[in-house]
Structure 1
């Protein structure tokens, strides 16, 4: 009996079986290539299987070869990543912080020093206060564990150059080396590159601002200088902080670079007093222009 002699009902059933087999084969083939875990496609590594024997009936249309353009929508899912913001090149360092209320920032320079920094960290932790530490690279090399502790306890670690030179007397290449080398060792110590920098002696120049911005850092100076490096006495340091306290003030002290025992004692006195006076001691938030 020829195809033309088959009863119409048998012919229809045969076509339905062939169409169903083709659909199952296509679905199985698609399942070999892509499955989903969460929101991301996961491509399986599969061993090529032999091509199935041709099926009787009309041949399927040859599929187009995939191209990079056709596959592009499958490369990833989710919103596109935004380009990183470029840090603006400033002409002057920031001197104070903005925000509502009686906000102040405590900053400490030149460390970390194993003799004094741990005591300051202990006092800050006792009152659950976050501060900023502008560290020197050569000091970080000697005390990387202290930098890790700063970051772990929520403090901001800033760049204060490698060897505390006067930047205005250095060539551009030397300034970059001082700053970039310090950012590198900070990242090695706490896993994150600094977002803030401070020029030693407060000596800024155009090159320092430009290089700092290229390294992704904003410049921060200070509003109140305790001059604790002159060892004027604990009482004098406390008075300078309390008399200069005001919304937005940035206080400069030191945790290294000499005998800082007075600075350690002063922090224990003025910190609770500032809190009792209603000041909120915090760290700044970066703003882009």
Structure 2
């Protein structure tokens, strides 16, 4: 997995707003809408059950099988771009996995709740998007992962992230084991649209078509800069992939 570095310095300037977030009374129903049915019964609210450890291997596969595609969207939520992406996903009947930065989730809890209420899944993307995580101490990694988990869970109204994606793919054996012990499956990607570098929507669509045979998990971003071309790329690629016989799912958990 490529390490992202260009154009990412904005994270060091993000200051999490001290917003009071009231825990939603509908946490259980929101979780059921997000997680769907597992093993023939609705998954209970994460806030009501003990966290069950999951596999610590980095997942890429889709729960929809060989023709499945996982849309993953990183770095938000963002008040400009996240709502536009939610609209495009809704218009196409597609669910995605949103890998959220803790400070962004804390600053925009309304958007986190909208993501969950629309049936999408949450992913822990650390507190501050430090792409040198694999060079840092275990204490630092723990703080970045678990503080972000708490921030996202609070912002969502009680729904825990189901995955952990290391910033820039900077996983370590320790970070994978820690995340998995908290019920967050380490999440990789196969197709990198490199939208943070500013390519056109047409270029991103071409990248998806060329790289999708390598695996089903596609990486987009909804924060960190102008994401208008990402919105347009999603608008084009979602119906195109459907027409090619693909279905949209979530990473295997």
TM > 0.5 fold call: yes
Report the Cα distance in structure 1 between the residues aligned to 2:188 and 2:147, rounded to whole angstroms: 21
Counterpart in the other structure of 2:82: 117
Report the Cα distance in structure 2 between the residues aligned to 1:283 and 1:167, rounded to whole angstroms: 25
Q: Alpha-carbon deviations, 1:247-288, whole Å to 9, x = none?
A: 9510011111122111111111111111111110111342xx
Q: Alpha-carbon deviations, 1:162-190, whole Å to 9, x = none?
A: 10012112211111111111111211122
Counterpart in the other structure of 1:250: 217
Structure 1 pair 117–275 and aligned structure 2 pair: CA distance change class (3 A):
same
SS at match of 1:108: strand
Question: How far apart are residue 224 of structure 1 and its match?
Answer: 0.7
In structure 2, which of residues 50, 58, 61 is the aligned counterpart of residue 96 of structure 1? 61
Q: Alpha-carbon deviations, 1:94-118, whole Å to 9, x = none?
A: 2332543511101011111111111
The size of the alignment, in residue pairs, is: 203
Report the Cα distance in structure 1 between the residues aligned to 2:171 and 2:252, rounded to whole angstroms: 22
CA contact (8 A) 1:96 1:223 kept: no
In structure 2, which of residues 129, 140, 154 is the aligned counterpart of residue 188 of structure 1? 154
Counterpart in the other structure of 1:127: 92
- 1:156 equivalent in alignment to 2:140: no
Report the Cα distance in structure 1 between the residues aligned to 2:162 and 2:51, rounded to whole angstroms: 14
Structure 1 pair 247–193 and aligned structure 2 pair: CA distance change class (3 A):
same
Question: How far apart are residue 214 of structure 1 and its match?
Answer: 2.4
Moved over 2 A (4+): 82-90, 95-101, 242-248
Report the Cα distance in structure 1 between the residues aligned to 2:173 and 2:202, rounded to whole angstroms: 38
- 1:142 equivalent in alignment to 2:107: yes
CA RMSD of aligned residues (A): 1.9
Report the TM-score when normalising by structure 1. 0.66
SS at match of 2:99: strand
Report the Cα distance in structure 2 between the residues aligned to 1:246 and 1:88, rounded to whole angstroms: 24
Report the Cα distance in structure 2 between the residues aligned to 1:182 and 1:198, rounded to whole angstroms: 11
Counterpart in the other structure of 2:144: 178
For residues 17-36 of structure 1, the aligned pairs below 5 Å read: none
Tell me, which stretches of 5 or more residues in structure 2 are unaligned? 1-48
Question: How far apart are residue 120 of structure 1 and its match?
Answer: 0.3
For residues 1-289 of structure 1, the aligned pairs below 5 Å read: 85-90=52-57, 93-97=58-62, 99-165=64-130, 166-190=132-156, 191-246=158-213, 249-286=216-253
Report the TM-score when normalising by structure 2. 0.75
Structure with greater Cα Rg? 1
SS at match of 2:231: helix
SS at match of 1:121: helix
Q: Alpha-carbon deviations, 1:119-138, whole Å to 9, x = none?
A: 00000011111001100001
CA contact (8 A) 1:104 1:246 kept: no
CA contact (8 A) 1:161 1:182 kept: yes
Report the Cα distance in structure 1 between the residues aligned to 2:192 and 2:238, rounded to whole angstroms: 16
SS at match of 2:148: helix
